[in-house]
Amino acid sequence: MKYYDKLIFELSKPGRIGFSLPRPADRQQLPFGNTATLGTLRGGTASEAQRWGPKDVSEGQAAAGSKVCSKVWREAPLDLPEVSEVDVVRHYTNLSQMNFGVDTGFYPLGSCTMKYNPKINEEIAGIPGFAGLHPLQPNETVKGAFEVLVGMDKALAAITGMKHFTFLPCAGAHGELTGLMLMREYHMSRGDTARTKVIVPDSAHGTNPASAAVCGLDIVVVKSKEDGLVDVEALKGLLGPDIAGIMLTNPNTLGLFERDIKQIAELVHGCGGLLYYDGANMNPLLGMVRPGDMGFDIMHLNLHKTFSTPHGGGGPGAGPVGVSDKVLPFLHIPRVSGFHGNFGIILRAYAYILMLGREHIKLAGKFATLSANYIKESLKDCYKLPIPSVCKHEFVFDGLLDDNGVTTLDVAKRLLDYGFHAPTIYFPLLFHQAIMIEPTETESLETLDAFIAVMRKIAEEAKTDPELLHGAPHNTPIGRPDETTAARQPVLKYE
């Protein structure tokens, strides 16, 4: 362990401080009648900051004339680490370097589209007039922000073939729920109350059935065929007056374009249902094909995937929902107002769309598709490729061809040793050893070749030294935690 891998509490020495500001006049009267006694407020010493105990709180509260239940008073001074400025800087800099992101390396996480986030997006989002916006500002002071929302609505309508979008949802799953509620509203408004079921393919992203369940709808699973596409014959057997609609991802989670989409749309509409398009993975279709033209009625986009805004670790995101003419009357109004989801993310995505423009945005999908097929073809003699057809932006291997007891988890962990983020593993559930690779369009040929070389090396290691892989990773700050315990009972607090 390196010295600075220590916790900041372990670096602490009583009395050591990271700042020394001049002392203002003692016990300054604050405008709201409280008395400033907090060392932190006036830049005093660390031990003064720790004095924020019951005494100070009660004094302050008494002065402010309010009552605070004594149960919530701190009984002992706050145990803050006492460290110098350089300790703080090194501690956080070292922590940041234990992190992995698209700015540090290749991140082929299937279904997540971890494309590079161009820094121009960040510059635009940092313009003070945007960065300092408040939802309660008077309308006439936020015209520019409204213009962004209106412009984005037009851009997304042009890209998707939908009529209009709402920007309220803050994630893909949030968009799904919003879209399904619109679907339910559509049927209800027609007095069609028996439509309580939603069809979801077995290859769907887990959020699809989850959102349907949260919306109070029952889920009916439609199988995929051998070739990974929706089984249209099986679908016919599921359609009826109880079907609210179908949720489809196209290209689907295996990276395959659902070629029968026109027929699927006719069948679902024919039985009175609606088509929901999960556009989280719209990347390969940008500027080429539009869900609106395929017959979809409602859709969401993940701006934090397809449109290059930062994500990972659960946020931030934006999942705008678009609708066709049919569903438009149910979209909330006003479509443009002060409270509008993750505005900074919408703005970044708008910058990205304007930067590329109508013609160049097509290249994103083309290069993403080329990169995925290039990796697939370069590795299929080492890794099991269950569906050999041409893919779109991503594809799935089913473990090593010659596994020698080495699992997908071992391969994923070993990749970390070589400085690459692991692909998505054990998803989709159709294959037991799934490795789902999405390189995106923003990687150079050299990076793709380096990844291919490492994947081949790991396949070699599996043959010659499987133990090495079972124990991987060997070069990371944390080895192989018990994943369930780490997720269910994480220890996040210093004791």
Ligand X SMILES: *Cc1c(COP(=O)(O)O)cnc(C)c1O
Q: Please state, in angstroms and rounded to a whole number, the distance separating the CA atoms of residues 138 and 134.
A: 9
Residue count at the site for ligand X (CB under 6 A)? 13
In terms of CB distance, is 204 or 239 closer to ligand X? 204
CB of 206 to ligand X, least distance (A): 8
Q: Please state, in angstroms and rounded to a whole number, the distance separating the CA atoms of residues 127 and 197.
A: 46
CB of 281 to ligand X, least distance (A): 5
Two structure tokens written together for 435: 């490795």
Q: Please state, in angstroms and rounded to a whole number, the distance separating the CA atoms of residues 315 and 172.
A: 11
Residue sitting closest to ligand X (CB)? 172
Residue 264 DSSP SS3: helix
CA–centroid distance for 5 within its chain: 28
Question: Interacting stretch for ligand X, rule CB under 6 A, among 187-195, 278-286, 412-420, 436-444?
Answer: 278-286
Two structure tokens written together for 181: 């509620």
In terms of CB distance, is 44 or 251 closer to ligand X? 251
Among 160, 281, 407, 408, binds ligand X (CB under 6 A): 281
Binding mask 284-323 for ligand X (x = CB under 6 A): ------------------x--------------x-x----
Question: Interacting stretch for ligand X, rule CB under 6 A, among 120-128, 274-282, 331-339, 441-449?
Answer: 274-282
- Identity of the residue numbered 112: C
Among 166, 224, 249, 342, binds ligand X (CB under 6 A): 249
Among 111, 306, 342, 424, binds ligand X (CB under 6 A): 111
CA dihedral 112, 114, 118, 119 (to 10 degrees): 100
In terms of CB distance, is 44 or 201 closer to ligand X? 201
Which strands, in side-by-side order, build the sheet including 197-201? 164-166, 321-323, 298-301, 274-279, 243-248, 197-201, 218-222
CB of 384 to ligand X, least distance (A): 23
Question: Does residue number 205 form part of the binding site for ligand X (CB under 6 A)?
Answer: yes
Among 207, 250, 324, 442, binds ligand X (CB under 6 A): 207
Contacts of 479 (CB under 8 A, 6+ apart): 473
Question: Interacting stretch for ligand X, rule CB under 6 A, among 273-281, 382-390, 393-401, 468-476?
Answer: 273-281
CB of 317 to ligand X, least distance (A): 5
CB of 255 to ligand X, least distance (A): 11
In terms of CB distance, is 111 or 324 closer to ligand X? 111
Q: Find out whether the peptide bond into 320 is cis, omega within 30 degrees of 0.
A: no
Contact 78, 52 (CB under 8 A): yes
Q: How many CB atoms lie within 10 A of CB 26?
A: 8
In terms of CB distance, is 178 or 207 closer to ligand X? 207
In terms of CB distance, is 273 or 320 closer to ligand X? 320
Question: Does residue number 87 form part of the binding site for ligand X (CB under 6 A)?
Answer: no
Binding mask 163-182 for ligand X (x = CB under 6 A): --------xxx---------
Question: Interacting stretch for ligand X, rule CB under 6 A, among 150-158, 275-283, 406-414, 434-442?
Answer: 275-283
Which residue is it, tokens 């073939």?
A: 161
Question: Does residue number 280 form part of the binding site for ligand X (CB under 6 A)?
Answer: yes
In terms of CB distance, is 323 or 469 closer to ligand X? 323
In terms of CB distance, is 60 or 310 closer to ligand X? 310
Residue 486 DSSP SS3: helix
Interacting residues toward ligand X by CB under 6 A: 111, 171-173, 205, 207, 249, 278, 280-281, 302, 317, 319
